Structure 1
Amino acid sequence: MTIVHQQTVQMKQVSHGNFLMRNVLKHNVVFNEGTRGDAAYILTEGKIEISGIIEGHKKVFAILKPISIFGEMALFLDDNSRTATAIALEDSKVIVVTKDDLEEYMRDSPKVISSIITVLVSRLKSTTKKAMKVPSTGMGVVRILDLFASNGTMTLRYDTAIKSMADTFVTTTDRIEQYIHGLAGQGLLAVGRDEHDGRIITLLERNLVHEVMKRKD
């Protein structure tokens, strides 16, 4: 059995000085299941294994190749506990994306962030449905919608958004719809139809997280 050691992190500044490039040597850990995390990673070189412990045995969920985003749930959930382990299968490079990085970079480069958000929302979670236990799904939905609103995207296709979020949070479309209609009942979004009679979600607040938290107080 290969003994995996946590690598001493070596980073250099990239992009606007906010994003960091991390070099991860073969067999080294990016993050461990159960630890707290506040960042996602974009794999630019190498290969990353995503795995977890199921009933006492290791189960490999995915083998990622460039360009892939992983660890993204930490950007959306109140509980930042990692639900899987990420290990480099070969020497790799990843860009570290924290919540603060994402928000600042979004203001400067909305087109780039729009593509990142799209990947985040439609991510591969179907391969880990039996293993993933994602807490705070309601606030996760709010955070995703908040990112779209912050990026200037105020209208989403209903069916696509519901399915993508159900896959992302490893839950049913019915449960996501309950959250969506709950937000609609609070006047934070509207569910309607476009000119082609397709169902749409229209966001009515640009700072959705703030509005939700304010109404909880």
Structure 2
Amino acid sequence: MAQQSIQMKQVSRGNYLMRSVLKHNVIFNEGTSGDAAYILTEGKIEISGIMEGHKKVFAVLTPISIFGEMALVLDEGIRTATAIALEDSKVIVVTKNDLLQFMNESPKVISAIITVLVSRLKSTTKKAMKVPSIGMGVVRTLDLFAINGVMKIKYDTTVKSLADTFVTTPENIESYIHGLADQKLLVVGRDRNDTRIIRLRERNLLREVLTRKN
């Protein structure tokens, strides 16, 4: 099988790993553990999985798309799909630290990044009966907002998006959110327009949760 070529490329203000993936090469397999996401800059990537013994294609990605992002959101994230190049492609490898650094340098893109994460998570996890560490996944997602200074988000939209993303019920997501409220890490209330909101109180929500766990 042909080898992938690997090089460092200047992206934004930091050095990120760029991989060239030849047609038909697998980037990652369903069921394996993952510690990075990928940004497709050139080519075409198929995201698929096995359902009831048969292959099902969840999405065919074109530039610019992010995939494999479950690894950035969940602890011990197991790949819920297989990613394979449909044509010669180029991807940027994004670790958790890479993503946080990029968002710190470019805070204006945070909403777009979260939207992409949620959208892609929906398409690649619908087949799952459940996703492990849902509570921590919720914390990690909220943490992406908090550490970048986005301290107020709409309640209903957030609950629905997280429920869809982690393949669970809105009630379960609400229980996690209210648990965080009980710990004084966030407040559930209403804004001046009487829209229900979540107001985050900690700028490093994940660290606070882990500290309190210990």
Q: TM-score range by the shorter chain?
A: over 0.9
> For residues 206 and 162 of structure 2, what CA distance do their matches in structure 1 show?
17
What is the alpha-carbon distance in structure 1 between the residues aligned to residue 25 and residue 6 of structure 2? 13
CA distance in 2: counterparts of 1:9 and 1:81, whole angstroms: 25
CA deviation string 1:96-115 (max 9, x = no partner): 11011112222222123442
CA distance in 2, matches of 1:126, 1:61: 6
Cα contact 2:2–2:22 (8 A) shared by 1: no
Gaps of at least 5 residues in structure 2 are none
Deviation at residue 215 of structure 1 after TM alignment = 1.0
Match of 1:83 among 57, 80, 83: 80
The change in CA–CA distance for 1:140 and 1:7 in structure 2 (over 3 A counts) is: farther
Aligned residue type for 1:70: F
Match of 1:8 in 2: 4
Picking from 155, 163, 168, the partner of 1:171 is 168
Q: How much does 1:132 deviate?
A: 6.0
Tell me the alpha carbon deviations over residues 30-79 of structure 1, each in whole angstroms, 9 at most, x when there is no partner: 11111121111111221111111223221111111122111111001111
Q: What fraction of aligned residue pairs are identical, expressed as a percent?
A: 74
Pairs within 5 Å for 1:52-201: 52-123=49-120, 125-126=122-123, 128-131=125-128, 133-201=130-198
Tell me the SS of whatever aligns to 2:14: coil
- Superposed CA RMSD: 1.8
Distance in 1 separating the partners of 2:82 and 2:47: 6
For residues 6 and 181 of structure 1, what CA distance do their matches in structure 2 show?
51
2:17 matched to 1:20?
A: yes
Normalization by structure 1: what TM-score?
0.91
Equivalent pair of 1:121/1:144 in contact (CA under 8 Å): no
Deviates more, 1:105-114 or 1:84-93: 105-114
Q: Quote the Cα distance in structure 2 between the aligned partners of 1:6 and 1:170.
A: 36
Contact 1:194/1:200, CA 8 A, preserved across alignment = yes
Report the alpha carbon displacement of residue 182 of structure 1 after superposing the two structures with TM: 0.9
The total of aligned residue pairs comes to 213
